[in-house]
Amino acid sequence: MRFRAALLLACLAALAVWPTPGGAHSVPTPAEISRAVQVWKRYAECERSQRFEPCFVLLSTNVRRAWTDTGRATADAYAFVRGGEEIAFDELRLLRVRKSPGRVVLVVRVRGRGTAGAFEQLWEYALLLEGGEWRIDGKREGLHETLP
């Protein structure tokens, strides 16, 4: 009986240190979530100011590749398109955080004015842990996926 118990404990210990398949990430810690929120705050400042050059480096490889596919592979070209939107923000308020392994989604209440008038929506910013740094990896404005 002791042999089986010892064998079971040894197996459980081995599983606890066994690498996860495909190098999967663990669920973000509170400190990692705080770092992700700080990245979003930097990006939100770009949205408020409509100056996007500094935020190009905050985008994930996937998002930068998507911008390259549209013919905008540099920070200047990205900023020209993103900064050309006629929108003024009154509020970008973080409401809640959803987390999964290697990823954080920030749910934000957005209030502002655009060409169609005043608006209020919930936007979601997806952040991905990439090379030890949090990067903006997606954005949903209401029901529509957009390139951040």
pLDDT at position 19 over 50? no
Whole-number Å distance between alpha carbons of 36 and 129: 8
**Per the structure block, which two tokens stand in for 60?**
């994930």
Query: What is the structure's pLDDT at 65?
Result: 97
pLDDT over threshold 70, residue 11: no
Show the tokens assigned to 115: 């060409």
- Cα distances (Å, whole numbers) of residue 102 to 8, 14, 47, 106, 112: 30, 23, 25, 14, 31
Q: Give the Cα separation of 33 and 75 in Å (integer).
A: 26
pLDDT given at position 15: 34
In this prediction, residues 111-135 reach a mean pLDDT of 96
Q: 67-81, pLDDT tens digit by residue? A: 999 999 999 999 999
For CA atoms 135, 141, 145, 148, the dihedral sign is negative
How many angstroms separate the CA atoms of 18 and 31, rounded? Answer: 24
The DSSP secondary structure of 29-96, one letter per residue, reads PHHHHHHHHHHHHHHHHHHHHT--GGGGGGB-HHHHHHHHHTT--SHHHHHHHHHTS-EEEEEEEEEE
What does the alpha-carbon distance between residue 79 and residue 54 come to, in Å, rounded to a whole number?
9
pLDDT tens-digit map of 84-104: 989 999 999 999 999 999 899
- Per the CB < 8 A criterion, the answer to whether 148 and 124 are in contact is no
In sequence order, what are the beta bridge partners of 104?
Answer: 99, 127
What is the distance in angstroms between the CA of the first residue and the CA of the last residue of the chain?
A: 59
Domains of the chain in sequence order: 26-146 (3.10.450.50)
